A and B are shown apart, each in its own frame.
Chain A
Amino acid sequence: MLRQATSPEVRERIEALDLPFNRWGLDPYGVSKAHLGLFLTSLGVLYKHYFRVRAHNIQRVPSSGPVMLISNHSGGLPVDAGMILASMFFDHDPPRLAHGMVEKFAQNWPFLSPWFSRVGQLPGLPEHAKRLLTDGRVLMAFPEGARGTGKLYRDRYQLVRFGTGFMRIALEVGIPIVPLAFIGGEEAIPTVYHAKALAKLFKAPYVPITPYLLPLPLPVHCEIHYGEPMQFSGSGNEPDDVIEGHVAKVKERIEQLIADGRSSRSRNLADTP
């Protein structure tokens, strides 16, 4: 059933992924061709037709080998993660599967938990990040974490504190970081309030409430601006001040990409007939 629901384009691009699928269509992390097919077919509709995403400078992401994509986080629900994943699959040549780090609490959710695993989105643990990168995969990380997606609309595009774990891992594994800015997520789900009691019920950090109540994303045009790869040298065991210095450079680069991206998006929207 999953195979029948997969578009021919997605099927073709899945075959071009550089992943060691076995005859059951499974890779060593449990990523499944069949699940990827349905997931990416659905994501493709959102990417191309609902959010009409444009990816700029995506060729800056290496065609092979390990790389960490570091992005701003926004929007109440992880629309940005899905669209970055889609851009790496639909617009990067060759297609690459970006692995995200899912909140650990989601592993206890029936139905969703196995889906996350089958499409390569593993629980957010340093062990997973290091292993994926050591295996030459693309890792997508949002150093703002739940603080980022929990931002209210009035704080849009203001980066909150970045965690430093991603930098220690990048140094330990010795891989490049590609900073990027996701523009549009803040407008897609404009969070005006957090329903704390509801969040407690779902064991989630927050439940976003929008002006139209439901946290459903609006069909807002989104853009992804990929920056030049950044390479830092070190072992990952440096003192905090050294690591924080490196993190600040990445954050600064993302702030610049956001500023550039917001003005280019305004121009693009103005150009749209």
Chain B
Amino acid sequence: MKVLITGIAGAHAQLVALRLVERGHEVLGIDVRPWQGAPRGVKIFQTDVRKRPAADVFRVHRPKVVIHMATVTHFDASREQRYRVNLRGTQAVFKHCNDFGVEEAVFVGRHTIYGAAADAPLYRNEDEPPLAVSTFPELADLVAADLYASRALWSCKNMRTVVLRIVYALGPSGRGTLASFLAGPRVPMALGFDPLFHVMHEDDAAKAIVLAAESKIAGVFNIAGPPPVPLSVLCQATGRTAVPIPEGMLPRVLGRFGLPHLPRGALTHLKHPVVVDNSAFGEATGFDYHWDEHATMGSFRDASILRERRGL
């Protein structure tokens, strides 16, 4: 099967590509960034998904399956850049998929779009509305991209569309939203709160994405691994020091004193959980996780220690 991955130079996308190659698929990739050391059998096109050369990749190579992972989740990028990549990029990819006979499009989204709120259910299923649009306005571009991709379920009748909402992926790569949050030795917590964090190993996340691409499924699916853990346990298991800070002081101290920078909307995630119910995906594909929460957090901790020792 010929599979095109957008955003292939990202750490988690690379894991997906390697798994696809291992399973005998032909892999193509688009990214503005290079992938140094890409394995043989993976063909990289260094371009922007919104530019004409990207359309040519679809036109010339005619991939059967497209896995769209070219989204920006970190907040170092400007709002305009996030909007361009996340929403306009998703629009361009789905247009190419529809125009060039792609049989299946897999959009890799985030569970954070459900948003953290005091009155939200602990386990969110796929029918839950994306509260992040109001509780975490800085995520509006990702919410819009997710909903735009979901629109293809009914508008692109000749293509199967799969929208995945994946929990935080953590692992030895040390990349991703949660890994950035846990990058420093001190991790901020809202004093008096200890929300559950839903985390899965990055290898399991890659396994789930590949399974979605290989299975003849369509729809919106939550992806998760082991049950969630409190933020305090996450800090302890990854060798970080949790620093409880009164809620009112958080906006003033984040980004200083070695604490990570977080946008204002993210503060709700330090108070209330965002946990998903992934039973629909399990029933549709038979997916089960391999790494439990202990091994997942431990793999991140061990790799961090190695990186720190090497001064990376």
Interface residues of A (CB under 8 A from B): 22-24, 26-30, 32, 104-105, 107-111, 113-114, 117-118, 122-123, 125, 127-128, 131
> What secondary structure prevails in chain B residues at the interface with A?
loop
Known: A23-B292, A24-B237. 7 other contacts (CB 8 A): A24-B233, A30-B122, A30-B230, A110-B190, A114-B194, A127-B123, A131-B122
Docked-complex contact B247 and A110, CB < 8 angstroms: yes
B228 within 8 A of A: yes
B192 touches A111 (CB 8 A): yes
Residues on B with beta carbons closer than 8 Å to the beta carbon of A26: 227, 229-230, 233
* B117 vs chain A, min Cβ distance (A): 9
Q: How far is the CA of A32 from the CA of B294 in the complex (A)?
A: 15
Q: What are 27 A-B pairs at a CB distance below 8 A?
A: A22-B292, A22-B293, A24-B233, A26-B227, A26-B229, A26-B230, A27-B227, A29-B122, A30-B230, A30-B273, A32-B230, A104-B119, A105-B118, A107-B119, A109-B192, A110-B191, A110-B247, A111-B192, A114-B193, A114-B230, A117-B196, A122-B122, A123-B119, A125-B119, A127-B121, A128-B121, A131-B122
Q: How far is the CB of B230 from chain A (nearest CB, A)?
A: 6
Query: When chains A and B are docked, how far (Å) is the Cα of A27 from the Cα of B233?
Result: 13
- Is B272 at the interface (CB under 8 A from chain A)? yes
Chain A residues with Cβ below 8 Å from B247 are 110
Q: Which residues of B contact A107 (CB under 8 A)?
A: 118-119, 272
Bound: A23/B228 CA distance, A? 13
Distance (whole angstroms) from the CB of A262 to the closest CB of chain B: 37
Q: Are B294 and A23 in contact (CB under 8 A)?
A: yes
Assess whether B226 is in contact with A22, with CB atoms less than 8 Å apart: yes
Residues in A with CB closer than 8 Å to B119 are 104, 107, 123, 125
Please measure, in the bound complex, the distance between the C-alpha atom of A156 and the C-alpha atom of B280, giving whole angstroms: 47
Q: Which residue of B lies closest to A106 (CB)?
A: B118
On chain B, the residues within 8 Å of A125 by CB distance are 119, 121
* Shortest CB distance B295–A (Å): 10
- Point out the residues of chain A lying under 8 angstroms from B273, CB to CB: 30
Question: What's the least CB distance linking B39 to chain A, in Å?
Answer: 35
With beta carbons under 8 angstroms apart, the residue of B121, B190, B192, B196 that contacts A30 is: B196
Contact status A110-B192, CB under 8 Å: yes
CA of A117 to CA of B192 in the docked complex: distance in angstroms?
Answer: 12
- For B195, the chain A residues whose CB sits under 8 A away are 114
In the complex, are the beta carbons of A131 and B192 less than 8 A apart?
no
Query: Nearest residue in B to A30 (C-beta to C-beta)?
Result: B196
**Cα(A22)–Cα(B195), bound, Å:** 17
CB distance from B283 to the nearest CB of A (A): 14
Shortest CB-to-CB span from A256 to chain B, Å, is 35
